[in-house]
Structure 1
Amino acid sequence: MATRSSRFHYVKSRFIPELTVLHAQMSDFSYDRHAHEEYAFGVTLCGRQDFFSGGEFHRSPPGHVIQFNPEEVHDGHPGGESPLGYVMAYVSPASLEALFAAALGNERAGGYRNSETLMSDPVLRAAILELVQLVTRGVGNRLDQEHALYRVATALVQRAGQCQPGGPARRADALLLRAKDYILAHLADDVSLDDISQAAHLSKYHFLRLFRQQFGITPHQYVLNCRINAARNALEAGAVPSDVAIRFGFADLSHFNRRFKRIYGMTPHQYQRSVIN
């Protein structure tokens, strides 16, 4: 629970370890800008979901679908006066590669990226809600959940109407890969902007300009985001929150708690209790 009037509940799939579902109710909470390593598929249930993504602001009314590609920066908060309720399924790219390739009929199209963030699509909405229900109830078996996930992938591809592969890496994409590789190798270190820009083979000025222009957050925010994502994985594996804080470069547990809560709506300890039965 984030506050008296905002609640967050995470459920990990019993059958697909790389699949996590979030049930959220929000009225006085706002996410910091961040990015997940997974694909995210969500449905707004009640209220209105306002968020930034892809360089623009979106407003999602009840029944609309929200989809984020891996590493896509976004934030979020309730819009209007009514409380916001929504569900979101987070799925690792590895779990979707074969499903996207099968849906597209192209074995090399596993790295599919959807160009739409906010959609009104009853078929896609129904597929996401079915997946969420299966994970939340813990019913069926792995095949049932994989089939529901395949329905999500198929509905997304059919909506696009054609394959939209990533294609050759652009300069900004290559920048992110070089910078991310360096950051992930030094999560516990006190890295500087000079360190990261040199790893990306750019001057500090050009690095800052291109990074912010492409990703919508500063390198400092991105470093924190990578540390939080790595810390989340460690928590799910059962690591002690205080040890995780030190391992991934946070000053102390209090600092870790504050940063984690601004992205996941709850403290690391609360998150760990939610996903580990």
Structure 2
Amino acid sequence: MQSTSRFRFMKSRHVARITALHATMNDFQYDRHAHEEYALGVTLAGRQDFFSNGEFHRSPPGSVITLHPDEVHDGHAGGDDALDYVMLYIHPDELDPLIANAMGVQGLQATRLAPTLMKDVPLRDEIIALSRMIEEQETSQIEQEYALYRIAAHLAERAGNFAPNERARRPDSLLERAKDFIHENARYDISLDDISHSAHISKYHFLRTFRTQYGITPHQYVLNCRVNAARRHLENGESVMEAALCCGFSDLSHFNRRFKRIYGMTPRQYQAHIFT
């Protein structure tokens, strides 16, 4: 099969901390990773196969994918046809207040908003509409803000009728403490002992339970945090080398490899897309 993998990232010029991705792929597979943002996507053509939240999913055309911040997932094209999809990456600071307001609550308190994979035509259309607004960069600020509000209102309505599974409802508090330590110290050369001590659990129990809970090894999670942090530096206009060194990558080739496995392109290519 001829390679047709293409990735285009675009940041909104009007609403802070929103990035749109339009991807076509048939010969690329994402490593397991997690984002700091909500990831709201729609499969346009082909089929998207992915692991998330302890389960394997198959997303046919028209399906909506909802990934919460820090939710580990991977992804690749399923079947023989190329996969075509759009994805919105929306930072919780942008989306959470809108959803909380629509729900009439002060805060979301780790509320799970929707199932990972679902059929929802109105939400599908709203995600596609905002993605196209960002891609075309021809709409006004108020149009994009209203489109984001409509997505938030729909998710708020969904959240009131959705019962999450046990894994999502009861995160392990000690493992959450370990994750916080990783986020704060990922740029350093931290050890398994450092992480497990921060959570007051044995190294062996930590190793066993972390992957069971999150579907990713601690080492992979550390690298994932470094890549996400480096992406922020790239979006702030820093050089690839500066981003790599600030975030714990001493080897530029290693940084390039890890970044491409998560975003489908090199850090330099990603930066060129963002500032186009």
Normalised to the residue count of structure 2, the TM-score between the two structures is 0.93
Aligned twin of 1:94: 93
Say which is worse superposed, 127-136 or 77-86, in terms of deviation: 127-136
Aligned twin of 1:51: 50
Do 2:113 and 2:158's aligned partners in 1 also have CA atoms closer than 8 Å?
no
What percentage of residue pairs aligned between the two structures are identical? 58
Aligned twin of 1:64: 63
Q: What's the RMSD between the two structures over aligned residues? A: 2.1
Aligned twin of 1:73: 72
Q: 2:28 is matched by which residue type in structure 1?
A: F
Aligned twin of 2:125: 126
Aligned twin of 2:262: 263
CA shift in 2, pair 1:10/1:28, >3 Å: same
Q: 2:151 is matched by which residue type in structure 1?
A: V
Say which is worse superposed, 233-242 or 108-117, in terms of deviation: 108-117
Shift of 1:206: 1.3
SS of residue paired to 2:143: helix
The CA distance in 1 between the partners of 2:118 and 2:162, in whole Å, is 18
Equivalent positions of 1:184-199 (< 5 A) are: 184-199=183-198
The CA distance in 1 between the partners of 2:255 and 2:178, in whole Å, is 23
Aligned twin of 2:214: 215
CA shift in 2, pair 1:127/1:110, >3 Å: farther
Aligned twin of 2:82: 83
Cα deviation per residue 1:6-65 (whole Å; 9 max; x = unaligned)?
100000000112100000000100000000010010000000000001111100001110
Q: 2:27 is matched by which residue type in structure 1?
A: D
The CA distance in 2 between the partners of 1:240 and 1:176, in whole Å, is 34
Say which is worse superposed, 177-186 or 45-54, in terms of deviation: 177-186
Aligned twin of 1:175: 174
Normalised to the residue count of structure 1, the TM-score between the two structures is 0.92
CA shift in 2, pair 1:135/1:48, >3 Å: same
The CA distance in 2 between the partners of 1:195 and 1:60, in whole Å, is 39
Q: 1:198 is matched by which residue type in structure 2?
A: H
Equivalent positions of 1:1-80 (< 5 A) are: 4-80=3-79
Do 2:53 and 2:71's aligned partners in 1 also have CA atoms closer than 8 Å?
yes
Shift of 1:187: 2.6
CA shift in 2, pair 1:109/1:172, >3 Å: closer
Residue ranges of structure 2 left out of the alignment (5+ in a row): none
The CA distance in 1 between the partners of 2:238 and 2:172, in whole Å, is 32
The CA distance in 2 between the partners of 1:171 and 1:55, in whole Å, is 14
CA shift in 2, pair 1:111/1:181, >3 Å: closer
Residue ranges of structure 1 left out of the alignment (5+ in a row): none
Shift of 1:276: 1.5
CA shift in 2, pair 1:206/1:110, >3 Å: closer
Equivalent positions of 1:134-149 (< 5 A) are: 134-149=133-148
Cα deviation per residue 1:147-206 (whole Å; 9 max; x = unaligned)?
1111112222323444879xxx98744234322332233233211111111111110011
The CA distance in 2 between the partners of 1:66 and 1:253, in whole Å, is 33
Shift of 1:139: 2.5
Aligned twin of 1:204: 203
The CA distance in 1 between the partners of 2:119 and 2:35, in whole Å, is 23
The CA distance in 2 between the partners of 1:172 and 1:69, in whole Å, is 14
The CA distance in 1 between the partners of 2:209 and 2:171, in whole Å, is 7
Shift of 1:133: 1.3
The CA distance in 1 between the partners of 2:185 and 2:106, in whole Å, is 34
Cα deviation per residue 1:189-231 (whole Å; 9 max; x = unaligned)?
2111111111111100111122111100010010001000000
